[in-house]
Homo-oligomer: A and B are copies of this chain.
Amino acid sequence: MIRINDNGFIEEIKKDALFICVISSIETTLHYPISGVHKDFIKYTPALDVELVFFGKTLTLKTPPVDSSFSPSPAVITRACVELKNIKNLHIDAGAFIKPKIPYIEIDKKPTGRIEEGKAMENSKLLYNKAYNLANNLDAELLIIGESVPGGTTTALGVLLGLGYDAEGKVSSGSINNPHELKLEIVRKGLKRAKSNNVFDILNAVGDKMMPVAAALAVNFLKRRKPVILAGGTQMAAVLAVIKEIYNDLDKIAIATTEFVINDKNSDLIGLVEQIADIPIYAAKFDFENSRLLGLRKYCEGAVKEGVGAGGVSVYSIANNLNPKRIREFIENNFKKWYGQ
Contacts and interface: CB of A to CB of B under 8 A. Distances in A.
Contacts of A54: 133, 137
A133 B54 CA distance: 8
Interface string A97-112: 0010011111100000
Nearest to A90: B137
A54 B104 CA distance: 17
Interface in A113-166: 130-131, 133-134, 136-140
Contacts of A140: 139
A106 B107 contact: no
Interface SS of A by simple majority:
mixed
B139 A103 contact: no
A92 interface: yes
A265 to B, nearest CB: 38
Contact of A133 (B55, B92, B131): B55
A93 B102 CA distance: 13
A88 interface: yes
A131 B54 CA distance: 12
Contacts of A131: 103
A177 to B, nearest CB: 37
A130 B91 CA distance: 14
Interface of A: 16, 18, 54-55, 88-90, 92-93, 99, 102-107, 130-131, 133-134, 136-140
Given A103-B105, A104-B105, A105-B105, 16 more contacts: A18-B137, A54-B133, A54-B137, A88-B138, A88-B139, A89-B137, A99-B106, A102-B130, A102-B133, A103-B107, A103-B130, A103-B131, A103-B133, A103-B134, A104-B106, A106-B106
